[in-house]
């Protein structure tokens, strides 16, 4: 196997069968990349959940790059090219997409929102830019109590150092995707969110929002096909169980009160003013802030979050649970009750 990419959470290898996604015990929050701790068995749980999710969606008629499990902490997927925009003169150049490439990643992250909740970014962004409501099919600025069916769907950049939300006009200006393909992505996202919402509800979990990635497939008489890629799991979805955060939001809430988190926002603002993309260097070297290490109790509960969710999914789908039966959401909720 040849290592193609080492990410903050998973490593990607090229094999004779396709690409191998090896999920690590690493984690990432707030665009930082690899954090100082590891979460034991997280990789195995993510691999188990990825297989369960993709198989479930295949049964619902949703195509993806997933092939089969490979080992306890890895899966095999069909290879998709990643064509990165060039950073030139302070902006990203997406002109490479003007030739309408196939079998490659759509360079957009797709965000869906079923529920908003307190502190959601959308409400604040709409207050600053009310005209954006029409883009989302809204007639008023929503508040934290509202839910949406079908979900609100937004788009952001995927292959830049910092994600930024994009309007339809901005996407059109980038010339990375045809308008009808963008609408197809919206429909696929709403369908997938609906399937996942029903699955989670079957074992008492609430799905709030999440993000998906897609790829352009082969050229057909009707244009390029589209299919789901990357991963699906608690790192891509915001979930709650009995009002406790059952996703990467759990880790975000640990770091949100820290001085490092405040410095991240400041560093991004400084980088934007300077027309540079090296905000992490500014945060670490100029502001002197790096993420703190999790304590043992936080690591223990984080491990149980991932293993319990994997077990509950397997039980709901009639599959064999990948971890010991004590790894259940009921037990996880009891473990984190005292300090969440």
**Which tokens go with 221?**
């008489």
The per-residue pLDDT for 196 is 97
pTM: 0.89
CB atoms within 10 A of CB 171: 17
Domain residue limits, the chain: 2-256+295-336
Task: Dump pLDDT digits (tens) for 203-240.
Answer: 999 999 999 999 999 888 877 999 999 999 998 999 99
Nearest to 109 by CA among 273, 18, 207, 235: 235
CATH of 2-256+295-336, one of 3.40.630.40, 3.20.20.70, 3.30.470.20, 3.40.50.1110: 3.30.470.20
Task: Dump pLDDT digits (tens) for 71-118.
Answer: 999 999 999 999 999 988 888 999 999 999 999 999 999 999 999 987
Task: Dump pLDDT digits (tens) for 289-303.
Answer: 999 999 999 999 999
Least confident of 133-137, 170-174, 279-283: 133-137
Task: Dump pLDDT digits (tens) for 118-140.
Answer: 778 898 899 999 999 998 989 99
Q: Where are the alpha helices (DSSP H) in 144-295?
A: 168-174, 179-201, 249-255, 259-274, 279-281
Q: Is the pLDDT of residue 260 over 80?
A: yes
Element (H, E) at 107: none
CB 152 within 8 A of CB 186: no
Task: Dump pLDDT digits (tens) for 136-171.
Answer: 989 999 988 889 999 999 999 999 887 899 999 999
What are phi and psi for residue 72, nearest 5 degrees? Answer: -55, -35
């Amino acid at each position: 196997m040849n290592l193609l990419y080492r990410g903050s959470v998973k490593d990607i290898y090229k094999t004779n069968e396709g690409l191998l996604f090896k999920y690590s015990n690493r984690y990432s929050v707030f665009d930082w990349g690899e954090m100082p701790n590891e979460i034991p068995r997280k990789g195995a749980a993510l691999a188990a959940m990825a297989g369960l999710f993709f198989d479930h969606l295949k049964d619902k008629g949703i195509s993806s790059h997933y092939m089969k499990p490979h080992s306890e902490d890895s899966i095999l997927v069909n290879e998709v090219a990643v064509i990165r925009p060039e950073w030139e003169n302070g902006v990203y150049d997406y002109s490479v997409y003007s030739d309408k490439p196939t079998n490659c990643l759509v360079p957009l992250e797709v965000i869906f929102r079923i529920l908003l909740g307190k502190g959601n970014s959308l409400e604040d962004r709409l207050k600053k830019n009310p005209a954006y409501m029409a883009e989302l099919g809204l007639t008023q600025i929503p508040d934290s109590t509202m839910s949406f069916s079908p979900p609100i769907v937004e788009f952001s950049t995927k292959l830049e150092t910092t994600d930024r939300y994009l309007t339809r006009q901005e996407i059109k200006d980038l010339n990375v995707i045809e308008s009808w393909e963008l609408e197809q992505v919206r429909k696929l996202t709403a369908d997938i969110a609906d399937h996942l919402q029903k699955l989670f509800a079957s074992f008492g979990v609430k799905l709030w929002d999440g993000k998906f990635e897609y790829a352009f497939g082969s050229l057909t008489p009707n244009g390029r096909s589209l299919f789901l890629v990357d991963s699906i799991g608690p790192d891509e979805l915001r979930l709650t169980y009995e009002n406790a955060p059952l996703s990467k939001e759990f880790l975000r809430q640990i770091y949100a009160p820290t001085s490092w988190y405040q410095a991240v926002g400041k560093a991004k603002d400084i980088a934007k003013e300077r027309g540079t993309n090296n905000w992490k260097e500014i945060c670490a070297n100029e502001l002197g802030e790096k993420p703190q290490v999790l304590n043992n109790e936080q690591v223990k509960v984080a491990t149980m979050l991932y293993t319990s969710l994997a077990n509950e999914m397997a039980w709901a789908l009639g599959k064999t649970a990948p971890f010991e039966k004590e790894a259940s959401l009921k037990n996880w909720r009891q473990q984190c009750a005292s300090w969440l």
